[in-house]
Chain A
Amino acid sequence: MRSTVTNPFVEIFDLIPSDRIYIQNAFEKITYGDVKLSISLFSQQYSYLAGKNCALITYSRFELAKILPLIASTANKIFLQPRCLKEEVEKEFYTKSCIEYVINVTDFGINATKLSDVNHAEDLEQEWLLSTSGTTGTPKLISYKLASLMKTSKKDLTKGANFKWGLCYDLNRFAGLQVYLQAIASGSSLTISESSDELSDSVKMFIDKNVNCLSATPSFWRIILMTKGSQSLNLKRITLGGEISDQTVLNSLKKHYENAHIVHIYASTEAGVGFSVKDGFAGFPLDYIGPSKSSSVELKIVNDTLWINNDSAASAILNGAIEIDIAGFINTGDIVEIQNDRVLFIGRDSGTINVGGNKVIPEEIEAILNSHPNVIQSKVFGKKNPILGMLVNAEVISENPLNIDEKKAFKKELLSFCKGKLESFKIPAIVKFVENIAVNESGKIVRNNE
């Protein structure tokens, strides 16, 4: 049955002037009117998807943005499935979220495969499901009520006409979805780059399409600043998120884009949008800690770690566990430090290394290094880097003492040993040979954030 509950997302396409551009890339341009038309065609052609729980797999961000409104106009639950999900995780996710149809969108069209039949109540508020990246063990599956996802998006159609957003995140991840919803809630256009694009080409496309609002990780911004021609971006609004925004990158953006409104955002898939900082300084004001009058988000610091309580947070964790206390605060795992009247981010308590927005678990790399026959032990840690925020460094105890030339050769040997086993950003950038690696009383490697 088609739900009679109004869907605030699908409603957008009725409200926005049909000649406004919805999404575009270098090759294609789709208006809000085009989508409105497709919605009615789709619900006729795929009437069997009405009220069903669907997993949606697409091969590009653009394709996902194209089909999402169509599926949302008819389905009950939508799982925005990332491509790289392991088979056993996929199976578990499908069971936990009662998926009935898997919809594959390829160059050849839409292919819907029936998995199961589930009896569920009609007229449910639509839920969207996202998977976390799962760098810390198994990915988590998180379900959001549509209204809570759209809560922070401003809905001003008049102002929206002047905003042209650029997308440089995946649309099936929390950060990308936020940018997307923000853009379309006000009827703005979204210019979509793909993860496979060269950055310089993405920047060229953004300039070409007169993009004036852009949200990206600090690492991505640093590379934009290094890209010739990036000064021609006429930015009104700059958003940073996903990593620690340091003062240097904030200052640099201010200098290059004098007219831009610069905001850094604290958000996570589990905790939802936490808060934004608009004063151009790293970290956030100390008075954000404690109960807030104006927002539904409450913050506290326990043992140097930031905890967050967010009303509009995920409605349910369907798979995986998060640390949550009796008052409803979620442990973010982010270590903070108070300096004067400012709270600054230091790193992750799990030791997770964030290389340009990609999370790296030290133990995973240590396991590979330790599997080399001439390595006795290794320790992997993150070290601050001005370009990517952090880089992977390793200390290695070699079986035999090495002279300078042998060290060079063995480093080379270790790196090629890691290639093929690890993604490039996980391979240690710096390898240092040491005589011992400190362990604590329980025999674990002593880890401290550098």
Chain B
Amino acid sequence: MRAIILNKFNEALDQTDAGMHFEEITNDQVLLESGLDSLGFAILVALLEEELDLDPFQLMDEPVYPSTFGEFVAIYEKYSD
């Protein structure tokens, strides 16, 4: 899951011309300081939905908005079971 997200993360960076690429992202990386802006982040969620057929944000009973990469991955891991 982490590898898929990292791959799509780079694709979203690419699509928004962020001019950045990550080989690895640490769990405590703050999402909004990672080079992705709000549009890039929205694209990331859409790309992941295309890849995994899963949008955890639509499935949540209790809304969670992640602020770090670790929290973001944890959400996808939780809902992919």
Contact = CB atoms under 8 A, between A and B. Distances in A.
A binds B: yes
Interface of A: 199-200, 219, 222-223, 225-228, 248-249, 251-252, 255, 355-356, 383-388, 391, 393, 412, 415, 419, 424-425, 427, 429-430
B65 A199 contact: no
Nearest to B43: A429
B1 interface: no
A201 to B, nearest CB: 11
A199 to B, nearest CB: 7
A228 B67 contact: yes
Contacts of B62: 251, 255
Contact of A386 (B17, B31, B47, B55): B55
A425 B65 contact: no
Given A228-B30, A387-B38, A427-B15, 17 more contacts: A199-B32, A200-B33, A226-B65, A226-B66, A227-B32, A249-B63, A355-B39, A356-B39, A385-B46, A386-B45, A386-B57, A387-B45, A387-B57, A391-B46, A415-B15, A429-B46, A430-B47
Nearest to B12: A429
Contacts of B63: 248-249, 251-252, 255
Contact of B67 (A219, A227, A393): A227
Given A356-B38, A425-B39, A248 B60 contact: yes
B50 interface: yes
A386 B58 contact: yes
Contact of B50 (A223, A415, A430): A430
Interface string B34-50: 00001101110111001
Nearest to A424: B39
Contacts of A356: 38-39, 42
A355 B39 CA distance: 9
A179 B49 CA distance: 36
B29 to A, nearest CB: 11
B10 interface: no
A385 B38 CA distance: 12
B38 A223 contact: yes
A415 B63 CA distance: 32
A255 B61 CA distance: 12
A226 B66 CA distance: 6
A219 B15 CA distance: 20
A429 B15 contact: yes
A387 B16 CA distance: 15
A387 B39 CA distance: 8
B28 to A, nearest CB: 11
Nearest to B61: A251
9 contacts: A200-B32, A227-B67, A248-B57, A255-B63, A386-B42, A387-B41, A393-B46, A425-B39, A429-B42
Given A199-B32, A387-B38, A429-B15, A222 B45 contact: no
Contacts of A219: 38
Given A252-B65, A255-B63, A356-B38, A226 B43 contact: no
Contacts of B67: 226-228
A258 to B, nearest CB: 14
A391 B43 CA distance: 8
Residue among A226, A227, A251, A425 with most chain B CB within 10 A: A226
Interface in B43-79: 43, 45-47, 50, 55, 57-58, 60, 62-67
A251 B43 CA distance: 23
Nearest to A419: B17
Nearest to A416: B17
Contacts of A391: 42-43, 46
Contact of A226 (B15, B17, B32): B32
B39 A223 contact: no
B42 A388 contact: yes
Contacts of B42: 356, 385-388, 391, 429
B48 to A, nearest CB: 11
A419 B33 CA distance: 23
